[in-house]
Every structure is written in C-alpha cells, then in structure tokens.
Amino acid sequence: MITVHHLGVSQSERILWLCEELDIPYTLQRYDRDATGMAPAAYKKLHPMGIAPVITDGPLVLAESGAIIEYLIARHGQGRLAVGADRPNFAQYLFWFHFANGTLMPSELMNVISAMLSLQADNPLGAMLGERARRAFGMVEARLGEAAYFAGDELTAADIMMLFPLTTMRAFARRDISALPNTRAYLARIGERAAYRRAMAKGDPDMKPLLA
C-alpha cells in the first residue's frame, strides 16, 4: 500500500492530487510544520533530504515530486496522465513538467531569498531575479492563452507539477496574478475538479486554495 507522507502546505499536495485523479489507493500520513515553519523531526527522518514530498510503497522510500509522479503513473496509474513520445504534444508535456521545478519554483524561491536579504529593485541581483520570475509568469500566461492545459486540451501530469508554484507557493512568495487572466481562468478550471478539491480537503483542510 502506498503511503503519502504529506507535510502541511507543501509540494506533497501534488501527490495527493495525482492519487485522487488516478484513483490510486493510498494511506495519508499528515505532518504539521514545527514552530519554525519547517518539517518536523519525524518527517525529516523519512528521507536523507528531509523535505517534501515523500512516499513509501512497501520497502521503497521515494522523494522528489517529479520522480514520485512518474513512478506512480508508471507503476500504479497504467500510464494515465502521461503523454507518450508518439503524441504531437509530447514536447509541450515534457517542457512544462520540468519547467515547474526547473525554472518557475527556483525563480520564486530566489525572490523569497531576495526579500529576506532586503535586496531592492535597483540592486542588480534583485532586478535580475525579479525579471527572471516575470518572464516565467509571462510564459505561463501566454501558454494558457493557447491551450486549456499546459500540455494541450487535457489535464496531464504537467498540470499536477505546475499548479503548486501558481497557487500554494504564493503563500511563501507573494505574487499578484490579477493581471494574468489566462492563468486565473486556468486556476478556476482546476478548482472545479473534484479530485483536486478532495486532495486539498484531505491534505490541508484549514487552508483555502489560492486559486485567484
């Protein structure tokens, strides 16, 4: 049996959502953050990196969002929500699946660090980091003006990956998306999905999803 070790308000919400979308049986183990806002000691013991997400599947302990998603789709999801190499939207699927944690998340994390270091907009490093994030969100907005979902007309694992930096990550890296109508419409579509609502209600029942 798969156990999803869910750290509150973290990337592990992706794994809950995926399991709900694919109707994969799982056990949920929730962990609250400690007084410093970090993962508690019990969570850190699960994996050497000590960060979310983590799943266990029998003796297997697996971390990293992308790795877990690919594993669950391949081993327990019959390939659903992945896009095969023979499909015309394969490259788009790959790009956005990896863009989430390869570009968008690091850009937002660097902005958090920039704010902590009080780097002003006229500081060259602060300006560079801000521009990088603006470009990333500009690409997101443009893509969602072309397609209903990141890989095309249907929800895929690329959306599972991309949603966190567009929503819950904004609890840490504040960002106004009022001027991004395509992004806001996309978030509204996701918010209507029963599987997404179930996942968020189970994982973070006290948090209202940041869908606007």
CB atoms near residue 130 (< 10 Å): 17
Task: Report yes or no on 202 lying in a domain.
Answer: no
Give mean pLDDT, residues 169-194: 95
Q: Are residues 138 and 179 in the same domain?
A: yes
* Contacts for 157 with CB less than 8 Å, ≥ 6 apart: 18, 69, 70, 73, 81, 82, 93, 97
Give pLDDT tens digits for 102-128.
999 988 887 676 666 665 556 666 666
pLDDT above 60: residue 47? yes
Task: Report yes or no on 188 lying in a domain.
Answer: yes
Provide the domain limits for residue 142: 90-193
pLDDT at 132: 82
Q: Are residues 62 and 104 in the same domain?
A: no
Task: Report yes or no on 208 lying in a domain.
Answer: no
Give pLDDT tens digits for 30-40.
999 999 989 99
Q: At 181, list the tokens.
A: 């109508």
Q: Are residues 47 and 105 in the same domain?
A: no
* pLDDT confidence bin for 129, thresholds 50/70/90: low
Give pLDDT tens digits for 131-155.
888 899 999 999 999 999 999 999 9
Report which of 131, 133, 74 is spatially closest to residue 99, judged by C-alpha positions.
133
End residue of a domain, out of 33, 55, 82: 82
Tell me which amino acid residue 186 is.
Y
Give mean pLDDT, residues 151-161: 98
Give mean pLDDT, residues 191-208: 97
Q: Are residues 183 and 96 in the same domain?
A: yes
Give pLDDT tens digits for 62-85.
999 999 999 999 999 999 999 999
Q: At 31, list the tokens.
A: 């962990």
CATH number, domain containing residue 28: 3.40.30.10
CA dist., res. 146 & res. 182, Å (int): 9
CA dist., res. 130 & res. 137, Å (int): 11
Tell me which amino acid residue 53 is.
P
